């Protein structure tokens, strides 16, 4: 019985210490609680897993749920935003052609975009990471999604630019 009690205490100690949400810089110095740390607007998936996990938890409701589980409606909104990204790239003279990526978009309840996370697919055209982040931040700052909800929400999908007309209509 004492062994079980000891195990439970040890388990609780590990859980509490893992959930303190303190960030540390390269030297090990504490940066404080993650609730007070500004999370990046754009994340490359796999580079900042702590921030990505926190953002994912904050935006756990999915676009599909916001669209009352209507797959066609959710797809319509998603592909509409991908078209808007392509149009914005053309207007801002940012060459996005050949870029293939997994994209996770985190929306505020009002439809504005709070964060984006992406990962280039292996068969994507190489693109400068800083330029890509800058382009996505610029797009986010001027864009509002056509969907609103009482909660923050997110959507994850795959996209290849340029969008082909047959992919949009099907």
pLDDT in tens, 26-38: 444 444 444 446 7
Residues 90, 93, 98, 102: what is their CA dihedral angle, to the nearest 10 degrees? Answer: -80
Q: Whose structure tokens read 């996209």?
A: 159
Asked if the model's pLDDT at residue 16 lies above 90, the reply is no
Distance between alpha carbon 39 and the CA centroid of its chain, in Å? 11
∠ CA 46-160-152, nearest 5°, is 60
Per-residue HEC secondary structure of 88-107 comes to HHHHCCCCCCCCEEEEEEEE
Instruction: Give mean pLDDT, residues 154-158.
Output: 95
- pLDDT for residue 22 is more than 70: no
What is the rounded average pLDDT of the residues 63-77?
Answer: 95
- Write down the pLDDT at residue 18: 44
For the chain, the domains span 2-33, 42-169
How sure is the predictor about 19, in pLDDT bands with cuts at 50, 70 and 90?
very low
User: Is residue 147 within 8 Å of residue 77, measured between CB atoms?
Assistant: yes
Compute the mean pLDDT over every residue in the chain, rounded to the nearest whole number.
81
Angle, vertex CA 140, rays to CA 138 and CA 146, nearest 5: 140
pLDDT reported for residue 29? 42
In whole angstroms, give the CA distance from residue 170 to residue 167: 6
The dihedral over CA atoms of 96, 99, 101, 103, expressed in degrees to the nearest 10, equals 0
Of the listed ranges 11-25, 28-42, 80-94, 137-151, the least confidently predicted one is: 11-25
Check whether 143 has a pLDDT greater than 50.
yes
89: tokens are 């790239």
pLDDT value, residue 166: 52
pTM of the model: 0.74
Return the pLDDT at 161: 96
* Per-residue pLDDT reduced to its tens digit, 45-56: 998 888 889 988
pLDDT, average across residues 99-120 = 96
SS3 call for 17: helix
């Amino acid at each position: 019985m004492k062994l079980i009690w000891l195990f439970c205490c040890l388990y609780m100690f590990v859980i509490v210490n893992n959930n303190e949400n303190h960030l540390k810089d390269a030297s090990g110095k504490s940066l404080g609680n993650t609730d007070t740390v500004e999370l990046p607007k754009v994340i490359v998936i796999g580079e900042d897993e702590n921030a990505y996990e926190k953002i994912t938890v904050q935006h756990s409701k999915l676009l599909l749920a916001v669209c009352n589980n209507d797959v066609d409606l959710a797809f319509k909104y998603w592909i509409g935003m991908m078209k808007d990204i392509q149009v914005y790239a053309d207007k801002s003279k940012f060459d996005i052609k050949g870029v293939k990526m997994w994209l996770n978009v985190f929306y505020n309840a009002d439809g504005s975009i709070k964060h984006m996370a992406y990962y280039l697919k292996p068969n994507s055209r190489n693109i400068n990471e800083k330029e890509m982040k800058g382009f996505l931040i610029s797009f986010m700052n001027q864009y509002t999604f056509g969907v609103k909800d009482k909660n923050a929400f997110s959507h994850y999908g795959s996209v290849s630019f340029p969008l082909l007309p047959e992919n949009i209509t099907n």
